[in-house]
Amino acid sequence: MGSLTIRPQSTSRGDTIPLAILMLSGAGIATWTLASAAGRIAELVGGGPVRVRAQLAGTDAGARIAAGAPELPIEIETARLVVPDPTMTTVVPLVLEQVLLGLVVLIVIACLLAVAASIMRGRVFSSANTRLVGAAGAAALLGAWLVPLCATVGANDAIAQLLGSGLVGAVFVVEPFALVSIAFVVAIAITTFGVGDRLRRDTDGLV
C-alpha cells in the first residue's frame, strides 16, 4: 500500500512577482508616511505659526466665491486654522498624533511584509503568520481611534486659543464604516490563517 505525503509547495513566479511588488509598495508607503510625520513634527515644534485641521460639524459662515460677488451662506465641515503662537497644550497632542500615525503604519506594514516574506518562502499558514495578521489588525483598529482623538484634542485647544476662551468647537470624528470594515477584514484574515494553520498541523506527516 502506497503512502501520501503532503509537502509544502514553493511559490511560483506568478505568485512571487505580485508579492515582491506589494513589499516594495509597503516599504515606500512606510517611508513616505514617516517622512511626512517628521516634517509635520518639525513644523509643530519649530516655534512659528502652525496649521491645525479641525472638524467643525456644520458651522455656519459666509463667504464670497468670486471678487465683487455677494456673500453667500455656507456650512463648514472642515477648516484649516492658523495658530500664530501655539501653546504646549496644542502642540503636544498634535505631535502625539503624528507619532502614533507613524508607529501604526510602521507596525501594520512591518507585520504584512513579514507575512508576505513567509509566503514567498512557501509557508502560508503558520501560527507566526496568524499572530502577525492579528497584530496588524489590532494596530490598525487602535490607530483608527487614537490618531483622530489626538487631532481633536489639539484642534480644540487651538480653537480655544484663537477665540480667547474655553469654547470647544472641534468634534471627534471616526468613520464607523471604516472601523467595521477593518474589524471584519481582520476577523476574516485571522480566522483564515488560524484554520489554515490547524489544517497544516493536522496534515503534517499524513500517510
Model pLDDT for residues 151-191, shown as the tens digit of each residue? 888 888 888 888 876 555 555 555 666 666 667 677 777 77
Q: Collect all residues with Cβ–Cβ distance below 8 Å to 42 and sequence separation of at least 6.
A: none
Average pLDDT, the chain: 77
Q: Sign of dihedral through CA atoms 32, 36, 41, 42?
A: positive
Alpha carbons 26 and 113: distance in angstroms, whole number = 7
Alpha carbons 28 and 113: distance in angstroms, whole number = 12
Picking from 10, 23, 12, 6, the residue whose alpha carbon sits closest to that of residue 116 is 23
Nearest 5°: the CA angle 121, 127, 133 is: 85
With beta carbons less than 8 A apart as the criterion, state whether 200 and 2 touch: no
Residue found by looking up cell 484554520 in the block: 195
Q: Which helix (H) or strand (E) holds 179?
A: helix 176-203
With beta carbons less than 8 A apart as the criterion, state whether 197 and 130 touch: yes
SS3 52: strand
**Torsions phi, psi of 31, nearest 5?**
-65, -45
Give the start-to-end residue ranges of the domains of the chain. 13-202
Q: How confident is the model at residue 5 (pLDDT cuts 50, 70, 90)?
A: very low
Model pLDDT for residues 186-195, shown as the tens digit of each residue? 777 777 767 7
Count CB neighbours of 102 within 10 A. Answer: 20
The pLDDT value given to residue 35: 92
Count CB neighbours of 143 within 10 A. Answer: 18
pLDDT tops 60 at residue 10 = no
User: Taking the model in full, what pTM does it have?
Assistant: 0.74
Query: Distances in Å between the alpha carbon of 125 and those of 12, 115, 135, 187, 207?
Result: 17, 9, 16, 16, 20
